[in-house]
Structure 1
Amino acid sequence: MASDEATPGTRRGRRNDPERRDRIIDACLDVIAEAGVAGTSHRKVAEAAGVPLGSMTYYFAGMDDLLHEAFTRFAVTGSEHFVRRMSEATDHESAQAAVVAIITEDVFGSARDLVLTHELYTLAARRAEYRTITSAWMARSRAALELHFDPETSRQLDALIEGLTIHRALDAEVRDVAEVVRAVERIAASPRSRALRASGAEA
């Protein structure tokens, strides 16, 4: 009887189970969330995905290839929520509200997201090839912010989002959402409002 796995040239395994590669990537993220990058192995991912161990080397050149694919999927999925929020904003005020929602609802919306994000950051801090993922993620976030804010303000808001989401996720004390609103307002105040405050101070 023919094996379920085939050589890459025949692609028999891919035709029999076209979603297998995607399942492996998703399972890899689940294993990382549970055991961390250090505890992730081909065997654990294969078991989590419910696929033969041989599938791992059939679809991926090695563990680095799989990790890069998995974290890329995670980063792209996360940025899609970010972009959607900012794209739906219609004016300066709703854009500020979108930033608040990103901080309080979207980023680190679950313990799994928190763990995966920090596992990616740790890996990227050690290895330059993974910084392409984090750099692309930040670029997409800033581009979305620049739909409503100037580039400098967008960079400041991006840093605020990063910092506040980490603090809110790891702080044992529940933080007041009003603090987030005030912080966003201070950075994202419209140029016209800034000009009015400046003219009032000079009067």
Structure 2
Amino acid sequence: MKVPDWSAATDGPAEKQRRRHDPHRRARILDAALDVIAEHGVARTTHRKIAEAAGVPLGSVTYHFESLEGLVGEAFTKLGNRTADGFEAAMAAVGNEAQARTAVVSLITGEMLNDPRTTALSYELYALASRSPQMRHVTDAWMARSRAAIGRFFDPDTALMLDALIEGLSVHRALSLAPMPRTTVEAAVERIVRIS
């Protein structure tokens, strides 16, 4: 008679205990929600798809988040915070206005805002916020942090204009078959700074 090899079992008490007390599960669910939204759009996002993407039971998603709307809102807040963190890091790395202008150009032309996943998620958020006043709080908080980061080197009106330029040119570059060259982006930033 063959003795079973219980050491190969993956669902023993230790494994069950680890899953039950997974301190990062909520964060994984939020990241999975962003993945699902990027792939399927908000309209086709479900609790079940998020649970599958996170590798957790469906009940775990509904345990951590009371509603799909709340989960999507928190996921987009996480996206906004990551992007605002990127703005803050970019502006913290410079020491004067000339370097800040270069940093703004790099935000527009760099990878952070031009990553296909981030672009898709941003458009989903914009579309949702256009119909949901509650979601506008997410976009407003994101923009406020971005403007504050830019505002370390520019007055409030200029920071507002530069923030709008970053958003607009990022959209233009993402959708254009011939994206605006960096030299044109540099000229746009210079014009805004010069006239303000």
Residue aligning to 1:95: 100
> What are the equivalent positions in structure 2 for 1:103-122 lying under 5 Å apart?
103-122=108-127
Residue aligning to 1:77: 82
Q: Which of 57, 60, 72 does residue 62 from structure 2 map onto?
A: 57
Q: Structure 2 regions of 5+ residues with no counterpart?
A: 1-16
Q: Structure 1 regions of 5+ residues with no counterpart?
A: 1-11, 192-203
CA distance in 2, matches of 1:109, 1:155: 21
CA distance in 1, matches of 2:154, 2:171: 23
Amino acid across the alignment from 1:36: G
> What are the equivalent positions in structure 2 for 1:16-55 lying under 5 Å apart?
16-55=21-60
CA distance in 2, matches of 1:72, 1:52: 23
What is the CA RMSD across the aligned residues, in angstroms? 1.7
Task: Please tell me whether residue 165 in structure 1 is matched to residue 170 in structure 2.
Answer: yes
Q: What is the TM-score with the length of structure 2 in the denominator?
A: 0.87
Amino acid across the alignment from 1:29: L
Q: In 2 relative to 1, CA 88–189 (structure 1 residues): closer, same or farther, beyond 3 Å?
A: farther
CA distance in 2, matches of 1:169, 1:107: 12
TM-fit CA distance, 1:175? 2.4
CA distance in 2, matches of 1:106, 1:136: 22
Q: Number of aligned pairs?
A: 180
Residue deviations 1:148-182 (CA, integer Å, cap 9, x gap): 00111111111111111110110011321100011
Counterpart secondary structure, 1:188 = helix
TM-fit CA distance, 1:145? 1.1
Q: Is the 8 A contact 2:76 2:138 kept in 1?
A: yes
Question: Identity rate of aligned residues, in percent?
Answer: 50
TM-fit CA distance, 1:107? 4.5
TM-fit CA distance, 1:15? 5.4
Residue deviations 1:85-131 (CA, integer Å, cap 9, x gap): 11211011101000000000044231100110010011111011111
